[in-house]
Structure 1
Amino acid sequence: VCILMCASFYYGGGLVSESGPAEAAHCVFVVDHSGLKLARTLNTLTLFISSVFERFYGLGSTSHRGMEDDILPLVKNIVPPLTSKKHKGQDGRIGIIGGCQDYTGAPYFAAISALKVGADLSHVFCTKDAAVVIKSYSPELIVHPVLDSPNAVEEIEKWLPRLHGLVVGPGLGREDLLLKTVIEKSKARDIPIVIDADGLWLVTQQPSVIQGYQKGILTPNFMEFTRLYEALPMDSSDYQRSVMQLSVAMGNLTLVLKGEQDFITDGSKVYSCNLEGSGRRCGGQGDLLSGSMGVLAHWAHAVPGPDNMNPSVVAAFGACSLTRQCNSQAFQRHGRSTTTSDMIQEISSAFKKLFES
C-alpha cells in the first residue's frame, strides 16, 4: 500500500492557499499497487502546483509591493473630466463578446459595470437565445444577437470601428474560431482587449492569438493561470518569478493573476493590489473586474502617461482596486448575503473614493 500526500489549495474560483503552500491543507490518498500509476500522476500534478506556488509566493519584496500610493494617482490622471462640451460616446464605447443560453449574467455584469465606471455606451454581442434575457436586465445595454449566426464575424467586425475597447469571454463558451478571428481583427484596429473566462481557454490552445499585443490584458484566476503556464514552453531556471515569466513568454503581455492579492505584471515588474476586500466570493466579481478594466484600458491608452509605466498595467491596477473596494463596501452592507449586483451598486461611491477624492 502506498500513501500519497498531496496538497489541496482553494481560494475563490481557483486553487490557492491564503498563506502559501506551507500552510495549505493536506489530504491523504491510500492506493494499492494497481493505483500507483494514478498516484504518480497526481503526485506529478501536486509537485507542479507546489513549484508554481513556491515561485509565486517567493517573489522578492522588491518586485511585488503594495503600490496604491504610487499607482492610484496614475489611475486618477487617466479619468476623463466630465464637461458639457463632449458628445455621447467620447468617454468610451465598449464591446463585450459573450453570452449564451446558459450564461447571461456574466456579459450583463461586465457590460453594466463598464457603464457604471463611465463608458458612454456598452455593447453586448451574444447568441440569439441570450439576447432577450440580457436586454431584460437593463435597457441601457445595446445587445446584438449575432454570435450563433452564420456571419457572426462580419456582424461584429462592422462594429469594431465604433468601439474603443473589447472584453472577450464572459459567458461565451468555447467558440475558438470565432474568438480567434475577432481578436485578430480587433488587434488590427489597435484597440485594447481584455480576455477573461472562456476567452482564456482559447489563449491556452493558441497563445499566439494575443502574444505580444501590448494593448492586451489577461485576467486569469489561479486555475486558469496554471493552464496558461502549462501551455507555454518555459524554462523556470531563467526567471525566478512565475507570473513575470508567463508575461515575458507571452511577449510582455499584461497579466492579472487574481487571488488573495491581485498580482499585475507586464514582465518588467510585479505589482500587488492588496486593497482590503472581504471574504465573500460570489460569482460574477470577475465580470465586474473585466468590464471596468475595458473602460480604464481605453482611458489609459488615450492619454499620455509616464514613459516608464505601461498604460495597461495602470488600467489593470485601477480595475483591481475598484473591484476590491466595491466588495468591501457591499460586504459592510450585506455581509454573507453580498452578491455581485450589490457590488455593482457600490461602483459610484467606490470610484469617487479611489479616483475622485
Structure 2
Amino acid sequence: MYTSLGRPSISTLVFGNVIRRQQFLIRTLGICNQVHMREAKFVSGSTLEADAENILRRITPNLDPNRHKGQAGKIAVIGGCREYTGAPYFAAISALKLGADLSHVFCTKDAAAVIKSYSPELIVHPILEESYSVRDEDKKSISSKVLAEVAKWMERFDCLVVGPGLGRDPFLLDCVSEIIRLARKSNVPIVIDGDGLYLVTNNLDLVSGYSLAALTPNVNEYKRLVEKVLECEVNDHDGSEQLQSLAKRIGGATILMKGKADLISDGGTGTDLVFMVEK
C-alpha cells in the first residue's frame, strides 16, 4: 500500500546518488514510510541523508536465524533477447545486491545462456520467443505456453521489472503485454523500464489506473511519453508541472523521470509529489 498523508503536497528532498535511488525503491515497492517536509522549509543535505538512512534501516528486515531464503524479497526481470543481455543481468543482480533473496530473469532462449554465464546467482528462465523463431500458425499456442509458465511463478514474486534488454520484436512484446496484465490481476508491483516503456507508450491501458506500476523513463523515453499522452513537446522550464500532468493523465502509475535531477510524481493520487535533487 502507498502512504497517504490525507492530502497531496510537495516535498523537496536532497540526496546523494545512492540514497535517492534507494528512496525510489522504497516508494515503488509501497513501503509505508516517507520523509515529509514543508516545501518552504529547508535543512542541510546531510540531515536529509541521515533521515533517509533511518527510513532505510527501519524497513530493512533484520538478519534472523529463523528466516528462510526468499523472505527478504523475490524479484523477476522480464527482458533479455538475442541482441541485449547486459541490461537484464544488471537489473537482476542489482536486486540481489540491494538485499533481495532471489532474482529471476525471464528471457529468450538466445539470451539465457549468456545471462546465466554472467552469474550463478540468477535464476534464468529461457521461455520467451521472438518472431523469427515462431511460425505464424504457432504464435497463439506458444503465447499461451509462455503466459502459463510465468503464471506458475507469479504469486511468488514481490515485484516485476519489465523491459531491460527486451527489444521491440512484435511477438515478444505481445507476450509481455499479457504478462503485465497477469501481474495486474495478481496485484504484483511492476517497474517499467527500457523497451518496456516503448511497449507501454503505445499501449497505455497496460498501466493506466494501476497504482502499483512505476515508469522510469530517461530523457528520450520521457519525450515519447509526453508526445504520445499530452500531445505536446517537453517543457524544460516547468518540468515538475508537466510531469504531474503526465502522471495524472495516465492515472495511478508513478513516474520517475531520470536525469541530473530525478523527478517523481504519481499525479497527486494519494501520495506526495517528490522532487529528488542531487547535492
TM-score (norm 1): 0.56
> Whose RCO is larger (CA < 8 A, sep 6+)?
2
Q: CA 1:274–1:249 in 2, change beyond 3 Å: closer, same or farther?
A: same
Shift of 1:226: 1.1
2:276 counterpart of 1:273: yes
**Superposed, which structure 2 residues align to 1:225-304 within 5 Å?**
225-233=222-230, 241-268=241-268, 269-275=272-278
Q: 1:1-357 maps to which residues of 2 (within 5 A)?
A: 62=39, 68=49, 71-148=52-129, 150=142, 151-174=145-168, 175-233=172-230, 241-268=241-268, 269-275=272-278
Deviation, 1:256, is 0.5
Q: TM-score, normalised by structure 2?
A: 0.70
SS of equivalent to 2:161: strand
* Residues 261-315 of structure 1: per-residue CA shift (max 9 Å, x gap): 1111112343222345xxxxxxxxxxxxxxxxxxxxxxxxxxxxxxxxxxxxxxx
Q: Which position in structure 2 is the counterpart of 1:333? A: none
Cα distance in 2 between the residues matched to 1:207 and 1:179: 14
Answer whether contact 1:68 1:273 (CA < 8 A) is retained. Answer: no
Paired with 2:53 and 2:267, the residues of 1 have a C-alpha distance of 20
Deviation sequence 1:32-57 (CA, Å, 0-9, x none): xxxxxxxxxxxxxxxxxxxxxxxxxx
- The aligned residue for residue 28 of structure 2 is none
8 Å contact 2:266–2:273 — kept in the other structure?
A: yes
| Unaligned residue ranges in structure 2 (runs of 5+) | 1-37, 135-141, 234-238
The Cα of 1:184 is off from its aligned counterpart by: 0.6
Q: Do the aligned partners of 2:116 and 2:122 also contact (CA within 8 Å) in 1?
A: yes
Could you tell me whether the CA contact under 8 Å between 1:98 and 1:171 is conserved in 2? Answer: yes
SS in 1 for 2:105: strand
Question: After TM superposition, where is structure 1 displaced by more than 3 Å over at least 4 residues in a row?
Answer: 65-76, 233-236
**Deviation of 1:74 (Å):** 3.3
* Residue-by-residue CA offset, 1:139-176 (whole Å, 9 max, x unaligned): 01000000118222221121101111100000011233
Q: Check conservation: 2:240, 2:263, Cα contact below 8 A.
A: no
1:95 is paired with a residue whose SS is: strand
For 1:249, the aligned partner's letter is R
Counterpart contact for 1:234–1:249, Cα < 8 Å: no
One-letter amino acid matched to 1:168: V
Cα RMSD (Å)? 2.6
CA 1:231–1:75 in 2, change beyond 3 Å: closer, same or farther?
A: farther
Q: Following the alignment from structure 2 to structure 1, what is the Cα–Cα distance between the partners of residues 107 and 240?
A: 41
Q: Is the 8 A contact 1:247 1:266 kept in 2?
A: yes
Is the Cα contact below 8 Å between 2:219 and 2:257 reproduced in 1?
Answer: yes
SS at match of 1:213: coil
The separation in 2 between residues aligned to 1:220 and 1:128, in whole angstroms, is 27
Q: What fraction of aligned residue pairs are identical, expressed as a percent? A: 48
Distance 1:113 1:267 in 2: 28
Q: 1:244 to 1:73 in 2, by over 3 A?
A: farther
Aligned to 2:18: none
Per the TM alignment, residue 234 of structure 1 is displaced from its structure 2 partner at its CA by 6.6
The alignment covers a number of residue pairs equal to 214
Q: Distance in 2 between matches of 1:140 and 1:100?
A: 20
Please tell me whether Structure 1 or Structure 2 has the larger radius of gyration of its CA atoms: 1
Mark the runs of 5 or more structure 1 residues left unpaired by the alignment.
1-60, 277-357
Q: Say which SS state the counterpart of residue 183 (structure 1) adopts.
A: helix
Classify 1:71/1:229 alpha carbon distance in 2 versus 1 (closer, same or farther; 3 Å): farther
Deviations 1:80-100 (A, max 9, x none): 212111111111111000001
Deviation at residue 177 of structure 1 after TM alignment:
1.2
